[in-house]
């Protein structure tokens, strides 16, 4: 059994501009087919529009209020919402609330900077 606490992972900024804290991935566990991270966007911030040619993502909102754009569709999101982002689909997340927007990012295959294409 492998258990990694988020407190043990230093945050870093991804290519799209979000602050990410890895929870489980190939850098801190034996996970090889997926990754799980926590993303934080401050009020008024947004990720740069981007896509991942090889990666399917799921976002799960923990706290805050956001506006998610996937392809041509845009919707408000909040705590408890899960968002599927198919491989190769342009997407962005914007914090439209007064507090930090915190969400989980599940990626399969695992997140890689090389698989992020800014648009």
Task: Read off the tokens for 65.
Answer: 């209020």
Q: What mean pLDDT comes out for the span 98-107?
A: 97
Assigned domain for 36 exists: yes
pLDDT for the residue 18: 84
Assigned domain for 68 exists: yes
Assigned domain for 19 exists: yes
Torsions phi, psi for 69 (to 5 deg): -120, 125
pLDDT for the residue 35: 96
User: What total of structural domains would you count in the chain?
Assistant: 1
Summarised one tens digit per residue, pLDDT across range 42-99 is: 999 999 999 999 999 999 999 999 999 999 999 999 999 999 999 999 999 999 999 9
14's enclosing H/E stretch is none
Q: How confident is the prediction for the chain on average, in pLDDT?
A: 95
CATH number, position 10: 2.60.120.10
Burial of residue 85 (number of CB atoms within 10 Å: 0-12, 13-18, 19+): buried
Q: Rounded distance, CA 48 to CA 45, Å?
A: 10
Instruction: Specify the pTM.
Output: 0.93
Residue span of the structural domain in which 99 resides: 6-118
Summarised one tens digit per residue, pLDDT across range 17-40 is: 888 999 999 989 999 999 999 999
Assigned domain for 22 exists: yes
Assigned domain for 10 exists: yes
Tokens 């689909």 belong to which residue?
A: 89
* Residue 113's pLDDT band (cuts 50, 70, 90): confident
Assigned domain for 1 exists: no
Assigned domain for 104 exists: yes
């Amino acid at each position: 059994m492998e258990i990694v606490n988020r407190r043990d992972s230093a945050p870093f900024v991804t290519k799209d501009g979000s602050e990410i804290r890895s929870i489980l991935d190939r850098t801190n566990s034996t996970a090889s087919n997926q990754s799980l991270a926590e993303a934080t966007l401050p009020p008024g911030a947004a990720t740069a529009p981007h896509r991942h040619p090889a990666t399917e993502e799921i976002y799960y909102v923990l706290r805050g209020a956001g506006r998610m754009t996937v392809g041509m569709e845009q919707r408000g999101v909040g705590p408890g919402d899960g968002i599927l982002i198919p491989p190769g689909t342009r997407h962005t997340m914007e914090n439209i609330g007064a507090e930090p927007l915190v969400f989980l990012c599940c990626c399969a295959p695992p997140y890689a900077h090389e698989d992020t294409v800014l648009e």
